[in-house]
Amino acid sequence: QVQLVESGGGSVEAGGSLTLSCEASKFTYCMGWFRQAPGQEREGVAAISSGGSTWSADFVRGRFRISKDNAKSILYLQMNSLKPEDSAMYYCAARYNRCDLTAQRYNHWGKGTQVTVGA
């Protein structure tokens, strides 16, 4: 079983920056970040493969960057120019076969870390 623990969430003003971390017991082929706001469906934010290829949602492209430290098994999400609509619970997830932004296809999930962006 893959264990995932997110950290780094908090409150920030619009235009600010925040970096999220995900400590994994081990990396799978694909590691990703997802988010879910109250009353909304979970949506993909970004993903990265074992080889370093990345995928990102259009709404975060140019503002967020996903990266990983293979030696430490830590996944990161660097977020810049944050907007109020970015407020959500952010989840780290792991998938064995392919890399995309479809939440239902991921096999393991962390408990999430809250991100709140003020006006």
Q: Is residue 119 over pLDDT 90?
A: no
pLDDT interval class at 16 (50, 70, 90) = very high
Q: Is residue 61 over pLDDT 90?
A: no
For residues 81 and 63, give the distance between their C-alpha atoms in angstroms, rounded to a whole number: 6
Q: What is the pLDDT of residue 68?
A: 98
Q: Is residue 78 over pLDDT 90?
A: yes
| Cα separations in angstroms, 38 against 16, 64, 88, 90, 114 | 22, 21, 7, 12, 11
Q: Is residue 1 over pLDDT 90?
A: no
Strands (E), the chain: 4-7, 10-13, 18-24, 30-36, 43-49, 54-56, 64-69, 74-79, 88-95, 108-109, 113-118
Token pair, residue 27, equals 């990396």
